[in-house]
Amino acid sequence: MQLEYFPLSIRSFQAFSYRIAPFISLGAHYTSFNPKASTDFGDNNIDDPNNFWPGWEPGSVDPAQGNTWSVVTSIGARYKLNHLSDLMIDLRWQYYFSDWIDGLNHQLDSNKFNDWLIWLNFGYIYYLD
49-78, pLDDT tens digit by residue?
Answer: 667 777 777 778 888 899 999 999 999 999
Q: pLDDT confidence of 5, banded at 50, 70, 90?
A: very high
Sheet with 116-126, side-by-side order of all strands:
2-5, 20-33, 66-82, 85-96, 116-126
Average pLDDT over the chain reads 89
Q: What is the pLDDT of residue 49?
A: 66
Q: What is the mean pLDDT of residues 81-105?
A: 94
Q: What is the pLDDT of residue 44?
A: 66
17-26, pLDDT tens digit by residue?
Answer: 999 999 999 9
> What are the residue boundaries of the structural domains of the chain, listed by start?
2-126
> For 124, how many CA atoms within 13 A lie in the half-sphere containing its CB?
5
Supply φ then ψ for residue 14, to 5 degrees. Answer: -65, -25
Q: Of the ranges 7-16, 85-94, 115-124, which one carries the lowest mean pLDDT score?
A: 7-16
Q: What is the mean pLDDT of residues 1-11?
A: 93
Residue 11's contacts (CB-CB under 8 Å, 6 or more residues apart) are: none
Predicted TM-score (pTM) of this structure: 0.81
Q: pLDDT confidence of 27, banded at 50, 70, 90?
A: very high
Percent of the chain whose pLDDT exceeds 90: 64
